[in-house]
Chains A and B, each alone.
Chain A
Amino acid sequence: MGIVRKALASRPIAALTSPHTIDHYLDQIHPMLAVKHVRARVVEVVHETGVASTVVLRPNGAWRGFKPGQHVEFGVEVDGKRRVRVFSVSSSARRKDGTFSVSVKAHPDGYVSQYLHHELSPRTLIHLSQADGDFVLPDVVPDDLLLLSGGSGITPVMSMLRTLSESGHTGRVTFLHYARSREDEMFSEELDALAASYEFVRIVRVYTREPEADAELAGRFDLVHLKHLEVDPTSTLSYVCGPAGLIASVRDTYDELGAAEQLHTEYFKVPTVDLDAEDATGTLTFDDSGIDAANSGATILEQAEAAGLTPEFGCRMGVCNTCALKKNHGAVRHVITGEVSASTDETVKICVHVPVGDVNVAL
């Protein structure tokens, strides 16, 4: 942080701008001037495959950088509404031009991922968080490393691989990636190039649906694959990211070998929405308290109270906004109007909304 930033973020300035912050004023001059809020401009959107894109971002001075493997909250405004999703950084931490990127696979009914792939244009303002997450390499990277991924789960390990290569890491790195087909794979050419130029890495891709003729390995993940690559789970620091099924079978394998502490995992958790749920089905998750409850069909407020929580409330009729809180994902129905809303990240009044299928709220 520069000296000017520090000064602007200081307490005397806060006393002058109270109850607002200096960012509320700087925003009016230029949104990238904000001293606390991380913002970025889209530099370009690169289509990786038919359904995936890389978004290159130039963050403002509030950005404190990232460790390979970490993710950011990515907020983009569409039609006046900010949509926030979490994406892993996919670029190298050694990049010198002040940019970084995220790579996103468009989900068939996904709002933000579709928008990024089809409509996002350069210069769009993005609202970010600082990078977060402990799916990261240790400060001293051991001599043996496994980076394992499936589908769009390649993004955080790609960032690791790129960083290791650029920093001249000389330990052995095994990069094993599962994709449906080569068309479906992000970064194909770059992986080919790295396989040729970075002598300490062994890059193997398994195309599960359309295997290549001379493929080394085939099919879904199996211990045999690791054996073939001469990776010993008990002595290899391992990172896995991808579909829940892949992570589960890797975890089982490591557990069986007593190598659980070598394994680091990252879930992408794309939520599911069941709009057709007629009756009270699904699970209501109170995310902050770590409580799961079978949806009873009552309002979220009533269900929270039944679960022993004490959310704030006032009118209990949707007037006062006291009970409003963030619904992380899932669909909810307004008890008065019957309106269903399914956006991943929106504020709802829990006294007048019932869950439709699985719902996750920040309570």
Chain B
Amino acid sequence: MSHLRKRNAPIEPLSASNHNAAPAPLVGEDTTKRATIGLDLMTYEQLEDFGNELDAVRQRVLDDLGQTDADYIRRVIKVQRVFDVLGRVGIFFPFFLPVFIAGIVCLAVAKILENMEIGHNVMHGQYDWMNDPVVDGKKYEWDNVAPAQDWKHGHNYIHHTYTNIHGMDRDIGYNMFRIDEAQPWYPSHRVNLPLAFLLMLFFEWGVMYHGIELDEYLGGRMSKSEFKARKKRAWQKVRRQVVKDYVAFPVLAIPLIPFTAWWVPLAVLGGNVAANIIRNIWTFIIIFCGHFPAEVETFTEDEAQNETRGQWYLRQLLGSANITGSRPFHVMTGNLSYQVEHHLFPDIPARRYPEVAEDVHLLVEKYGLTYNTGRLSKQIGSVVRQLAVLGRKPSDPYKVGNSPESKALRREKREAEKAAREAMANA
């Protein structure tokens, strides 16, 4: 491409001496104001040490990555493909119930492994260092109706950067539920629990819809062209997924009709629906248990402005919850049962989380912090309780979203923002 290289870019010469200043993710207008996250637990100096120590843990793992990690993810992929093929074959035998059911289970396991231990983790870039296009975070597309690109934006960027900050992390309650005290209550939250149950069954569709970010568009924070592009990508992905699971494979069963029964293609379709629903239920449970149990903390934008890396780490630690379990259980959750470690180090291969959990425990002890963990049943119980309790109308009018008091407050904020925007435009 040397023939192209004519232009010289205009770049201000800078000294390279401050290579070590990390770019701040949450820069506020007043850069002299320091973030208050964690000040009730540690001093600024301690927070900085805490950050450095976690950086060191991360680097140690990165330096150690190699053949065993590559072999691991390839083994998971192999197992996933085997389950996938077994499942696809199994659901072609609806006239032989044990095989049919085993097929559904295999297909569900394949989809869970693909979405969790492979898809989610690969799309975080955990295996980018391998340079293998099959596990390249940029190229990967998962077996889910949500297109990878928009999911990555909402998840990797928004959720993982602004974790549990109200008004910034769109994953707090997914704009549907009241899951935290600090969220305003609306009458729709009366159906918190039944709605959650429905979302559980159709979770992949919820994830897809969430990724379109209709609320951002309606709120004027997203351009029309961007919104249209999102809709288009979602539609294309939905079409491909639906054609595969609900058209192509059932059609493939039509030649079986003369030898079996007319309803066999329908049963194949049903098998696919069932496998998808099992996967939906599982992923919903794991993800809700990662952030919504009662003890998990949330933050305000104000607290987090100009936070340091140490404070960012602390926010991840306080904002996530682990689930204890056996080795196969962890694999089936994509090691998201190590949600705390995942949030601290989203880009190191998930199989390393059990190992770094030991370091995290030591640091938690050293700085006297809390580490939220528990059995799956305990965490599910906690989430259900949260949904039930927070679904009831609070007595404080400021916690009720459509009370006159809250409306006045919002109007004020809107006007202030508008004024700021106009000031910017005029400047």
Task: Tell me which of A55-63, A186-194, A287-295 binds B.
Answer: A287-295
- Expressed in whole angstroms, the Cα–Cα distance for A244 and B19 within the complex equals 33
Q: Is B157 within 8 A of A335, CB to CB? A: no
Chain A positions 61 through 83: 1 when the CB is less than 8 Å from some CB of chain B, otherwise 0: 00000000000000101011111
Interface of B is mostly: helix
Instruction: Check if B143 is an interface residue, CB within 8 A of chain A.
Output: yes
- Expressed in whole angstroms, the Cα–Cα distance for A322 and B161 within the complex equals 12
Q: Is B125 within 8 A of A321, CB to CB? A: yes
- Expressed in whole angstroms, the Cα–Cα distance for A306 and B156 within the complex equals 25
Min CB distance B337 to A, Å, is: 21
Can you name 10 extra interface pairs (CB under 8 A) apart from A321-B123, A337-B55, A352-B23? A15-B244, A267-B2, A280-B13, A293-B9, A294-B11, A319-B347, A320-B160, A322-B153, A339-B59, A347-B138
Residues of B within 8 A of A197 (CB): none
- Expressed in whole angstroms, the Cα–Cα distance for A330 and B203 within the complex equals 44
CB under 8 Å from chain A, chain B span 71-124: 71, 77-78, 81-82, 85, 123-124
In this complex, the member of A28, A279, A290, A320 whose beta carbon has the largest number of chain B beta carbons within 10 angstroms is A320
Instruction: Check if A52 is an interface residue, CB within 8 A of chain B.
Output: no
A residues sitting closer than 8 Å to B (CB atoms) are: 12, 15-16, 18-20, 24-25, 27-28, 75, 77, 79-84, 267, 278-280, 285, 287-299, 303, 306-308, 314-322, 324-325, 333, 335-339, 345-347, 349, 351-352, 354
B residues sitting closer than 8 Å to A (CB atoms) are: 1-2, 4-17, 19-25, 55, 58-59, 62-63, 65-71, 77-78, 81-82, 85, 123-125, 128-132, 134, 136-138, 141-143, 152-153, 156-158, 160-161, 237, 240-241, 243-244, 248-249, 252, 309, 312, 346-347
Q: Is B131 within 8 A of A345, CB to CB? A: yes
Question: Per a CB cutoff under 8 Å, which of B8, B11, B157 touches A306?
Answer: B11
Question: Per a CB cutoff under 8 Å, which of B5, B85, B131 touches A84?
Answer: B131
Q: Is A287 within 8 A of B125, CB to CB? A: no
24 inter-chain pairs at a CB distance below 8 angstroms, sorted by A residue, are A19-B142, A19-B237, A20-B143, A28-B81, A79-B67, A80-B66, A81-B66, A290-B5, A290-B6, A293-B8, A296-B12, A317-B23, A317-B309, A319-B156, A320-B157, A320-B161, A321-B346, A322-B152, A335-B21, A335-B23, A336-B20, A338-B20, A347-B128, A354-B16
In this complex, the member of A290, A319, A324 whose beta carbon has the largest number of chain B beta carbons within 10 angstroms is A319
- Expressed in whole angstroms, the Cα–Cα distance for A316 and B20 within the complex equals 14
In this complex, the member of B157, B158, B237, B346 whose beta carbon has the largest number of chain A beta carbons within 10 angstroms is B157
Residues of B within 8 A of A267 (CB): 2
Q: Is A292 within 8 A of B8, CB to CB? A: yes
Question: Per a CB cutoff under 8 Å, which of A84, A320, A324, A337 touches B128?
Answer: A324
Question: Per a CB cutoff under 8 Å, which of B6, B11, B71, B161 touches A315?
Answer: B161
Q: Is A287 within 8 A of B240, CB to CB? A: no
- Expressed in whole angstroms, the Cα–Cα distance for A321 and B122 within the complex equals 11
What 8 A-B pairs are tightest by C-beta distance, nearest first?
A: A290-B4, A314-B157, A80-B70, A297-B16, A307-B9, A321-B125, A280-B16, A293-B9
Residues of B within 8 A of A18 (CB): 240-241, 243-244
- Expressed in whole angstroms, the Cα–Cα distance for A292 and B94 within the complex equals 63
Q: For A303, give the chain B residue with the smallest CB separation.
A: B11
Residues of A within 8 A of B142 (CB): 19
Please judge, given known A-B contacts A299-B23, A339-B59, whether A15 and B243 are in contact too, CB under 8 Å.
yes
Q: Is A290 within 8 A of B7, CB to CB? A: yes
Min CB distance B75 to A, Å, is: 11
Residues of B within 8 A of A279 (CB): 15-17
Min CB distance B253 to A, Å, is: 12
- Expressed in whole angstroms, the Cα–Cα distance for A298 and B23 within the complex equals 11
Question: Per a CB cutoff under 8 Å, which of A83, A298, A317, A347 touches B25?
Answer: A317
